[in-house]
Amino acid sequence: MTVRDHLRSKIKKAYIVGFTGWLLLAGSIVLAPKASPVTVAIPGLTLFFGAVIYTLLAVRCPRCRNRLGQTLTAGSGVPFSRSKVRFCPFCGLELDSQDVQERSAV
């Protein structure tokens, strides 16, 4: 598994959770029109913003541990598309290398 594959799997999970949040938001507003909009929107928005925060904070370079989530998702515009980033901008790690050894958080 390459570094890119490892990071892409984390980003895919975040996209799926975020999309689920938006579906939950839309479904709850349609199915519960008499409820307060704020009360109905909270679960879906919580999932969506949780996925955004996860992408920003948890997607990190395995070598230098700097955050790469925004760097990898900013230019794509299309979920699950290929990122044009080839190297970690902080340490120069090639994302297509087989170096996926993450440091343990001790």
Spell out the SS3 assignment of 49-91.
HHHHHHHHHHCECCCCCCECHHHHHHCCCCCCCCCCCCECCCC
In this predicted model, what pLDDT tens digit does every residue of 19-74 receive, in sequence order?
999 998 888 878 777 777 777 788 899 999 999 999 999 989 888 999 988 887 77
Say yes or no to pLDDT of 102 above 60: no
In this predicted model, what pLDDT tens digit does every residue of 65-90 receive, in sequence order?
999 888 877 755 555 556 678 888 88
Question: How long a stretch of residues is the chain?
Answer: 106
Predicted model pTM: 0.75
Token pair of 26 as six digits: 């839309």
Say yes or no to pLDDT of 91 above 60: yes
**Least-confidence region, from 4-8, 14-18, 74-78:** 74-78
> What is the pLDDT, as a whole number, of residue 104?
42
Whole-angstrom distance, CA of residue 90 vs CA of residue 75: 17
> Across the strands, what pairs with 67?
60
